[in-house]
Amino acid sequence: MRLLVTGGAGFIGANFVHQTVADRPDVQVTVLDALTYAGNRASLAPVADRIDFVHGDVTDAALVDRLVAGSDAVVHFAAESHNDNSLTDPWPFVHTNIVGTVTLLQAVRAHDVRYHHISTDEVYGDLALDDPDRFTETTAYNPSSPYSASKASSDMLVRAWARSYGVRATLSNCSNNYGPYQHVEKFIPRQITNLLDGVRPKLYGQGRNVRDWIHVDDHNRAVWTILDRGRLGQTYLIGADGEVDNRTVVAMLLEIFGHDPQDFDFVADRPGHDLRYAIDSTLLRTELGWQPTYRDFRTGLEATVAWYRDHEHWWRPTKSATEAGYARTGQ
Ligand code: NAD
Ligand code: TDX
């Protein structure tokens, strides 16, 4: 199988490529990545001699058409992915997440190539803290930020291309990922690298917001399960029953580092900050038989701390510019 992976130099994409190279020797991987501030070729260094890497943009129609024509399937991870950035400048989100998805859809349509679309639970908006319901495949879309609205748009485009043009597509909407190679702008790596630098963790608002954490390897195993056995046209929610509020995440990190539980700061809240995400992944589990392998968040968090401790050369070059950006918004 010749597989085109967009965004393979990013957090989830790079972990997907590592997993694919390790578990699927029959798959020939080509990565297409623009190497934005979020892309890092060093994340692919351990598998560099096992894959083809193309430095390019998913909105480049001629390039995308040529790469898709030579592929049996596409997994589309490439995106602008950070909510805070989308609030400062939404245009790259419209460009990459919406125009980029249409560019790929036109190519897979022209060459009848299997397509899997990577999306997020944020398309559904948020839940109250005490709401007994969780998101399902039929929850109405209600995105809050420019990022989640652009992802919602891209999902709708995929559904339209599947229905009207018969594109062989599946979609997945996953909850918050954690693990190695995640950019230091994101919550967990930001706090880990702050602690490694002797800086106190920073909680937005009151820190009561809940995220449904899943290890990136479990997300990627679910993506492969859907590629292997998913029903065409179907959306699958991916989640590992990992609801934890941000305060608790910071408390766990402070404990892992042996610091006082009060050694953190509250900073300015994110405008429009979603309160809670929670995924009901029954369809994926019952229809396709997927299950998470990381069942204990604390253990996965300890492994992630160890990875950042051992890979300072990977994260150090991006740390100070990221913190300078946060300083400008009071975060
Ligand atoms: P990331 O920001 O770490 O990586 C994105 C990658 O896409 C980078 O390598 C970047 O260089 C590349 N890219 C950006 N614009 C591009 C363009 N125009 N052309 C080609 N490449 C481009 O993001 P991530 O956290 O790995 O997220 C990957 C996907 O998973 C995204 O679609 C995101 O919406 C989705 N997702 C993420 C999470 C999460 O918790 N991180 C959860 C659910 C879904
Ligand atoms: O310093 C911080 N302090 C803080 O309290 C940062 C960076 C974040 N937060 C909070 C905001 C959120 O409630 O932590 C939570 C997680 O924040 P992010 O890591 O920015 O993730 P989130 O906004 O939840 O979105 C993530 O999950 C869904 C990914 O970035 C998206 O790409 C994905 O779609």
Residues 6 or more apart in contact with residue 63 via CB below 8 angstroms: 32, 54, 56, 57
Tokens 């010749």 belong to residue: 2
Closest ligand to C-alpha of residue 222 is 1
CB atoms within 10 A of CB 108: 26
Q: Determine contact, residues 32/54, Cβ cutoff 8 Å.
A: yes
pTM attached to this predicted model: 0.99
Q: Is the dihedral of CA 237, 226, 5, 68 positive or negative?
A: negative
- Cα Rg of the chain, angstroms: 19
Structure confidence at residue 157 (pLDDT): 98
Q: How far apart are CA 73 and CA 165, in angstroms?
A: 17
Given the residues 33, 57, 80, 122, select the one marked as catalytic. Answer: 122
| Interval between CA 70 and ligand 1 midpoint (Å) | 23
Q: How far apart are CA 100 and CA 154, in angstroms?
A: 9
> How sure is the predictor about 322, in pLDDT bands with cuts at 50, 70 and 90?
very high
Q: Which neighbouring-strand residues pair with 172?
A: 118, 236
Instruction: Report how far Cα 54 is from the mean position of its chain's Cα atoms.
Output: 21
Q: Is 219 left (phi over 0), alpha (psi -120 to 50) or beta?
A: alpha
Structure confidence at residue 87 (pLDDT): 97
| Interval between CA 79 and ligand 1 midpoint (Å) | 4
List, in sequence order, every beta strand (DSSP E) within the chain: 2-6, 28-33, 52-55, 73-76, 114-120, 169-174, 177-178, 202-204, 210-212, 214-215, 235-238, 243-245, 265-267
Structure confidence at residue 125 (pLDDT): 98
Q: Determine contact, residues 20/44, Cβ cutoff 8 Å.
A: no
Q: How far apart are CA 51 and CA 96, in angstroms?
A: 23
Whether residue 33 has its Cβ less than 6 Å from ligand 1: yes
Whether residue 151 has its Cβ less than 6 Å from ligand 1: yes
Domains, the chain? 2-178+214-238 (3.40.50.720), 187-210+243-277+295-320 (3.90.25.10)
Q: From residue 249, give the alpha-carbon distance in Å to each of 172, 195, 202, 259, 298.
A: 25, 13, 11, 14, 9
Q: Determine contact, residues 59/107, Cβ cutoff 8 Å.
A: no
Q: In angstroms, how far is the first alpha carbon of the chain from the final one?
A: 45
In this structure, what token pair is assigned to residue 298? 């604390």
Instruction: Name the phi and psi angles at 90, rounded to 5.
Output: -75, -15
In this structure, what token pair is assigned to residue 119? 């999306």
Tens digits of residue pLDDT in 6-41: 999 999 999 999 999 999 999 999 999 999 999 999
Tens digits of residue pLDDT in 109-156: 999 999 999 999 999 999 999 999 999 999 999 999 999 999 999 999
User: Parallel, antiparallel, or unpaired: how do β-strands 235-238 and 169-174 relate?
Assistant: parallel
Tens digits of residue pLDDT in 267-317: 999 999 999 999 999 999 999 999 999 999 999 999 999 999 999 999 999
Given the residues 147, 236, 294, 308, select the one marked as catalytic. Answer: 147
Tens digits of residue pLDDT in 192-245: 999 999 999 999 999 999 999 999 999 999 999 999 999 999 999 999 999 999
In this structure, what token pair is assigned to residue 190? 């930001």
Residue 121 annotated as catalytic: yes
| Interval between CA 109 and ligand 2 midpoint (Å) | 34
Q: From residue 296, give the alpha-carbon distance in Å to each of 138, 216, 300, 303.
A: 28, 14, 7, 11
Residues 6 or more apart in contact with residue 174 via CB below 8 angstroms: 118, 119, 120, 121, 214, 219, 222, 237, 238, 239, 279
Whether residue 210 has its Cβ less than 6 Å from ligand 1: no
**What average pLDDT does this structure show over 42-61?**
98
In this structure, what token pair is assigned to residue 60? 């480049």
Structure confidence at residue 187 (pLDDT): 98
Tens digits of residue pLDDT in 167-200: 999 999 999 999 999 999 999 999 999 999 999 9
Structure confidence at residue 75 (pLDDT): 99
**What average pLDDT does this structure show over 80-105?**
98
